[in-house]
Structure 1
Amino acid sequence: MTGVADPLSILLASLRDGYVQVSVFVAVTVLAFGLVQYRTDGALLRAIEDNERLQPLIGGLLGLTPGCGGAIVVMPLYVRGSVSFGTVVATLGATAGDSAFVILALAPEAALYAYAIALVASVATGYLVDTAGLGVTRVDAAVSRLSPGTTATDGGTVVNNRIGPNPTHDYPSGSPTHSHEAGPDRTSRILTPLSHAAHVAWWVAAVGGLVLGTIYLLRGGPEIALSVGVDFAGAFTVFGLTGGVLSLYLYAIGRHYVGEGEIARARDSFGSVYDTLTHAAMETSFVTVWVIVALAGYEYVVVLSGLDVAAVAATAGVLAPIGGVAVGLIPGCGPQILLASVYAEGALPFSALAANAIAQDGDALFPLLAIDPKAAVVATIYNALPALVVGVALFFLWEPVFGMPEFGFGVA
């Protein structure tokens, strides 16, 4: 972030960084999948829903795409009962998140190994959850005791020999076959045209933010001063704050007047390119709100407690991959980008990077947290288990088996 500790600067930096470092990349991936749905008239989602036995693999591959857009596409499908809980586990476990852009730019060989390992481990766990359960029901019950009154996961098993909605799941929409209806749910002589203008301005900010965010990642994710001017830091701040504020507006008000009264719901297809753009903007704005809350909350905790997350993750010995898992459990991509930057500097072993790649859920967890918090918690628990096993195993076996040092492996 900015390196400043006053509350207002932390809030502004979180608003700016959440948009430029995360949201613009989410927007690109969500838009890309939306355009595929539009051009194929919903064939992508139908293919996922129809290929029941391939769902964990498909979810893992979608999660593997840099950024979180691919994984975000899967979460609403679970809510409406179209994919299994094992698919959610596989998707979130394989999610590369926005830290992938840092690793791909600064340590491409390490990225190839880490995300391949994450894909295999996560998809295998997803299939085990669907076919064997792996005690999900007990974990679900334990989470219920901690947070009574929330909904249940689908138990992690195939229902009646087919992947489908579990009869015991209380779907928030009232039906697992929720049909999303496009279109605004309100009209106003002032707010309707204002919201459309805000939507267009949001995409202008997104294009500028994407350019700045890409440059930022290629530079290794340095600290950017919170300033206004004609230099890179000034443009970074202006585009970030503009896009962040517009995201808050679209989430709180605009979505009721331009296209998306409901969010975090699967769309079968889209009526036009503008409809597709609207959906991507509203879904991304929804994620942006959660990202800003997570970034600001994380920074406030660090400032108040003096906790150095990077130092904890870099603790010598087998605690390094365990630290990587611990960082991965933090929702959002901010801490993961930090860990990726530390790895690229040669300060972390590869086992910590691989463990973090499996444990992290990126921003894809935010929609699920908002819709079905218990399922999000249970999925996070099941991602942490293979992350710990793989991370500790790599710590002890990497150099003896592969003959390559863990520190600095694959750094360009």
Structure 2
Amino acid sequence: MNGYITNEKDLRGEPMGSEVLSIILNSAENAFLQVGVFVGAVLLLFGYINYKQSGNFIRKIEESKKIQPILGALLGLTPGCGGAIFVMPLFVKGKVTFGTIIATLIATMGDSAFVIISTLPLEYILVSVISFIAAIITGYVVDYYHVGDKLLKNMNIITREEAHIINEKSDHNIINNESVEEFVHIGHDEGDEIDVILHHNAKGHQEHGTVAYEITHKGFIIYWGVLVIGLILGIMLLFQMDVNDLIIKDLGKIVGIGGTILSIILMIMSKKFIGDDTHEEAELKSISLKETIIHSASETAFVSTWVYLAYLIYEFGIFFLGKGNYGAGELIMTNLMTSAGLYAVLVGALIGLIPGCGPQVIFVALFTKGLVPFGALVANAISQDGDALFPLLVIDRKSSLWATIITTIPALIIGLIIYFIEMRMV
């Protein structure tokens, strides 16, 4: 087992209720200190890079027609969904090809990228290289057959005139007391048809003046404070130090369990459950460093909560398979995953069909636990679109459906090839 607290001895001779409670608490501690704090650090770093560069990168994609799929794939490789989200409306406005959309989505791992970066960086690099190559090839093949031209021809969205009528009847989401004129859009303009669909018609995560809004936009300071302390403890754990036997007794338990509880609260207040990033939030982060820090806290809470859920699935699975004997449960689980490796590749690709990052985070977290073969991880990484698909889904469902189907094809092919290579090497 990869955890540092829960083990066979912890679970022997305890009443069932105590064992269940022990798993719940230890999983909370481990999820936050082993993964969550590192996710927060990496996410904030890339959030700052995105804040500085996202608008410029999108403009480069618009201006570089011949290499758009390559640039789209590069943007998709950026951990998280912020950069990839910006590309989706560009296709509808005819500024990028559909192959660019496909390349961006194939290269995107969404927030699950933060999990594997934080735990298995070498595997992340290998997955990224494979996804990048698959993204470019598939993107150019899609453009060669002019799939996007057919989709644009049959696309039916509101006209600019209809958008202005709707725009007059709705208020834009004002952030930090900035007026509509000061709000900078990426990939579209204020008041056009895309703006109305993505911002005015779509419900945001929060309404201003609500308790949830106040908690996320003020409580993020406390959350980052706990994360900093947790990061220090997490680094100490990497050096095999006992963080529960320091000057403050059980400090690891206090910070780990407390951090997971705060993550769950912040995720609920942020109204982030399956997806954690909207087009509007991505734009806000690109124009405001404060919003970048606020939403990075919410995204970290989102990922940490789903990682905690993955840990619970793993721990309870082992516990009940072994009927209370942890070692026996691990052996049974290992045998099950070995015999079901081929199906795991199919499952990984199918889970990738689900929009949003939540289920993907669980799948990747299970890979870090050794329950998923590398081929299945690759299949999921190529197939999944994270939150990036949501803008296209809102604008034109037919295009989003074709994008989902097309990205799944290379996911299955490459995932199965890698799986069979893995089997030969064993």
Give me the TM-score of the superposition, normalised by structure 2.
Answer: 0.58
Q: Which residue of structure 1 lines up, in the alignment, with residue 181 of structure 2?
A: none
- Does structure 1 residue 390 correspond to structure 2 residue 420? no
Matched with 2:116 is: 99
Work out the CA distance in 2 between the residues paired with 1:232 and 1:361.
Answer: 41
Q: Does 1:206 align with 2:220?
A: no
How far 1:336 sits from its partner (Å)?
4.1
Unmatched 5+ stretches in structure 2: 92-99, 159-191, 323-328, 352-358
Shift of 1:43: 1.9
Measure, in 2, the Cα distance between the counterparts of 1:326 and 1:211: 38
Q: Which residue of 1 aligns with 2:345?
A: 325
Q: Secondary structure of 1:167's partner?
A: coil
Q: Does 1:264 align with 2:278?
A: yes
Partner of 2:49: 36
Deviations 1:327-372 (A, max 9, x none): 74564456545645659xxxx9xxx53x24412339x766469886
Say if 1:96 and 1:357, in contact at 8 Å, map to a contact too.
no
CA contact (8 A) 2:106 2:135 kept: yes
Aligned amino acid, residue 285 of structure 1:
A
Q: Percent identity?
A: 24
Distance 2:404 2:265 in 1: 29
Match for residue 136 of structure 1? none
**Aligned partner (choices 342, 355, 358) of residue 378 of structure 2:** 358
Corresponding residue pairs, total: 340
Aligned residue identity for 2:335: A
Letter in 2 for 1:394: I
Is the contact between residue 325 and residue 387 of structure 1 (CA under 8 Å) also seen in structure 2? no
Q: CA deviation at 1:203?
A: 0.9
What is the aligned partner in structure 2 of residue 167 from structure 1? 155
Query: Alpha-carbon deviations, 1:184-238, whole Å to 9, x = none?
Result: 73326x877655442101111222333444555676xxxx99x966389944433
User: In structure 2, what is the Cα distance between the partners aligned to 1:26 and 1:45?
Assistant: 25
Is residue 311 of structure 1 aligned with residue 299 of structure 2? no
Change (3 A) 1:337 1:52: farther
Contact 2:23 2:316 in 1 (8 A): yes
- C-alpha distance in 1, partners of 2:215/2:284? 28
Q: Post-superposition shift, 1:278?
A: 1.0
Query: Are the aligned partners of 2:267 and 2:301 in contact in 1 as well (CA < 8 Å)?
Result: yes
Q: Equivalent residue of 1:39, what SS? A: helix
1:35 Cα deviation from its structure 2 partner = 2.1
The one of 66, 82, 85 aligned to 1:73: 82
Query: How large is the Cα RMSD of the aligned pairs?
Result: 5.1
Q: Residue 20 of structure 1 contacts residue 212 of structure 1 at CA under 8 Å; is this kept in 2?
A: yes
Q: Paired residue for 1:158, among 141, 144, 148?
A: 148
Work out whether residues 50 and 82 of structure 2, in 8 Å CA contact, stay in contact via their aligned partners in 1: no
The answer on whether the counterparts of 1:99 and 1:333 sit within 8 Å (CA) in structure 2 is no
* Aligned mate of 1:247, from 263, 268, 290: 263
Q: Secondary structure at the match of 1:358?
A: helix
Cα deviation code 1:298-343 (max 9, x no counterpart): 544555556755434445xxx75x3663674564456545645659
Q: Residue 277 of structure 1 corresponds to which residue in structure 2?
A: 293
Instruction: Report the TM-score, using the length of structure 1 for normalisation.
Output: 0.60
**Shift of residue 281, structure 1, vs aligned partner:** 1.5
Judge conservation of contact 1:37–1:45 (CA < 8 Å) in 2: no
Distance 1:191 1:312, change over 3 A: closer
Distance change >3 Å, CA 94–CA 283, structure 1 → 2: closer
Change in Cα spacing, 1:51 to 1:277, as seen in structure 2 (3 Å) is farther
Alignment partners' CA distance in 2, 1:63 and 1:387? 18
Instruction: Tell me the secondary structure at the aligned position of residue 92 of structure 1.
Output: coil
CA contact (8 A) 1:78 1:88 kept: no
Structure richer in helix, relative to its length: 2
CA distance in 1, matches of 2:294, 2:153: 29
User: Is the 8 Å Cα contact of residues 63 and 96 (structure 1) preserved in structure 2?
Assistant: no
Amino acid at match of 1:247: S
Q: 1:112 to 1:34 in 2, by over 3 A?
A: closer
Change (3 A) 1:35 1:23: same
Cα distance change on mapping 1:41 and 1:131 into 2, 3 Å = closer
How far apart, in 1, do the equivalents of 2:153 and 2:23 lie? Answer: 42
Distance 1:184 1:42, change over 3 A: farther
Secondary structure of the corresponding residue to residue 246 of structure 2: coil
Quote the offset at 1:159 in angstroms: 3.5
Query: How far did residue 123 of structure 1 move?
Result: 3.8
Q: Is the 8 A contact 2:42 2:114 kept in 1?
A: no
| 1:369–1:38 CA distance, 2 compared to 1 (3 A) | closer
8 Å CA contact retained: 1:20, 1:240: yes
Contact 1:325 1:388 (8 Å CA) reproduced = yes
Aligned to 1:187: 209
1:146 aligns to what?
A: none
Q: 1:214-229 maps to which residues of 2 (within 5 A)?
A: 214=235, 216=237
The answer to whether 1:27 aligns with 2:40 is yes
Q: Which amino acid aligns with 1:200?
A: I
Deviation at 1:277, TM superposition (A): 0.5
| Distance (whole Å) between structure 2 residues aligned to residue 212 and residue 77 of structure 1 | 36
Give the aligned partner of residue 87 of structure 1.
104
